[in-house]
Amino acid sequence: MIERTPLNGLKFFYFCGLYGSVTVAADKLHVTQSAVSKQIKNLEDVLHIKLFIKVGRKLSLTKQGEILFACCEKIFLQLDDCLTDLTTANKPSAQLVLSCEPTISMKWLIPRLVEFNQLYKEVDIVLLTGGGKVEFEEKNVDLAIRRNDFDWGEHIYSEKLADEYIVAVNKAGAVLPTNEKLILTSSRPNLYKNLRLNRLISKQLLSYEKNVLEHFYLCIEAALANLGTAIVSIYMVEREINHGLLRYASTPVMDGSAYYLLSRYTFEEDPRKVVFKEWLKIQFTASEEAMLSQYQYKLM
């Protein structure tokens, strides 16, 4: 039966049944009233049934028309959902949602996003803070910046951004307290063990009493307040070092981890991801070079 039924006629029939008017249906479909009437007549001829009766100026569905309309309504709604899914599946959303660890977001990324926004006005970055496993689907995250200190899974696409460098810093120009403390963060529980096993900082620093705070930005604030020497990522204290607020208390060293950009889908499926990824690499490289050269300059 379907091969003999004019499918275009079903659409015209549906609009007439929906609005109860040939005139309105023609207006919605951007065709003439005669075209609508002709399609309805052809459909009735093929089906050998009457679909409408005229009540005054309004069209009303017959019993058979009501049955066909209910069927068309269900099918057209399903078809509309299907077409919407198809056309939006690979279409980038208006915003690119990025998840990033809190201190890196606050101290490193946010100050640089102004430049990115000026360069790429068409890319709207929405920043969420978080660490560890990325909830891509639950929070509609497109990209995430994480260190490779956990297993993010084989189905996640990743691109290395930069090696992690850690350094000890304390308040510039200050006389250190006699009961010097080593300020660490609980967000990296294996950091102190790594420092000792791999001798990443001096024995003197390791001999200090430990003071563990929840986040790196709290460690930085504690160092600025001259409460001790903080172990931090070089990327987190670039501004404080450049402005003479903090000073190096150890040599910047790689701790064996690195920052990666993560994506649930390939980066190439969204040109904005590629643009942001390449921009991040440039920014991380520039920071690394600046911080290491700054340390060498301080030694001179």
**pLDDT tens column, 91-131:** 555 789 999 999 999 999 999 999 999 999 989 999 999 99
- Looking at residue 155, its pLDDT comes to 87
Q: Largest alpha-carbon pair distance within the chain?
A: 101
- Looking at residue 234, its pLDDT comes to 97
Asked if residue 280 and residue 234 are part of one domain, the reply reads: yes
Give CA–CA dist 257/149, Å, rounded.
Answer: 7
Asked if 200 contacts 206 with a C-beta cutoff of 8 angstroms, the reply is: no
Asked if residue 78 and residue 153 are part of one domain, the reply reads: no
Check whether 22 has a pLDDT greater than 90.
yes
Q: How far is CA 18 from CA 45, 51, 68, in A?
A: 21, 13, 12
- Looking at residue 1, its pLDDT comes to 62
Domain of residue 205 covers 95-299
- Looking at residue 91, its pLDDT comes to 54
Asked if residue 146 and residue 58 are part of one domain, the reply reads: no
- Looking at residue 298, its pLDDT comes to 59
Asked if residue 129 and residue 59 are part of one domain, the reply reads: no
- Looking at residue 300, its pLDDT comes to 45
- What confidence category does residue 176 fall into, taking pLDDT thresholds of 50, 70 and 90? confident
Q: Which of 120, 128, 123 is nearest to 96 (CA)?
A: 123
Q: What is the mean pLDDT of the chain?
A: 91
Q: How far is CA 153 from CA 97, 130, 156, 159, 257, in A?
A: 20, 17, 6, 14, 17
Asked if 231 contacts 183 with a C-beta cutoff of 8 angstroms, the reply is: yes
Asked if residue 198 and residue 102 are part of one domain, the reply reads: yes
H helices then E strands: how many in the chain? 11, 11
Asked if residue 221 and residue 125 are part of one domain, the reply reads: yes
Asked if residue 252 and residue 157 are part of one domain, the reply reads: yes
Asked if residue 42 and residue 145 are part of one domain, the reply reads: no
Number of domains the chain contains: 2
- Looking at residue 8, its pLDDT comes to 87
Q: What is the mean pLDDT of residues 17-35?
A: 92
**pLDDT tens column, 181-219:** 999 999 999 989 988 888 888 999 999 999 999 999 999
**pLDDT tens column, 227-266:** 999 999 999 999 999 999 999 999 999 999 999 999 999 9
Asked if residue 70 and residue 136 are part of one domain, the reply reads: no
- What confidence category does residue 37 fall into, taking pLDDT thresholds of 50, 70 and 90? very high
Q: What are phi and psi of 143, to 5 degrees?
A: -135, 155
Give CA–CA dist 246/243, Å, rounded.
Answer: 8
Q: Which of 58, 75, 77 is nearest to 17 (CA)?
A: 58
Asked if residue 239 and residue 139 are part of one domain, the reply reads: yes
The residue from 88, 110, 126 where one domain ends is 88
The residue from 42, 61, 88 where one domain ends is 88
- Looking at residue 3, its pLDDT comes to 66
Residue with tokens 């604030």: 221
Asked if residue 16 and residue 160 are part of one domain, the reply reads: no
| Domain at 19, CATH number | 1.10.10.10
Q: What is the mean pLDDT of residues 22-29?
A: 92
- Determine the 3-state secondary structure of 106 from DSSP: helix
- Looking at residue 295, its pLDDT comes to 76
Q: What is the mean pLDDT of residues 69-90?
A: 82
**pLDDT tens column, 277-300:** 999 999 999 999 999 987 776 554
Check whether 68 has a pLDDT greater than 70.
yes
| Domain at 243, CATH number | 3.40.190.290
The residue from 88, 107, 139 where one domain ends is 88
Give CA–CA dist 248/202, Å, rounded.
Answer: 13
Asked if residue 83 and residue 100 are part of one domain, the reply reads: no
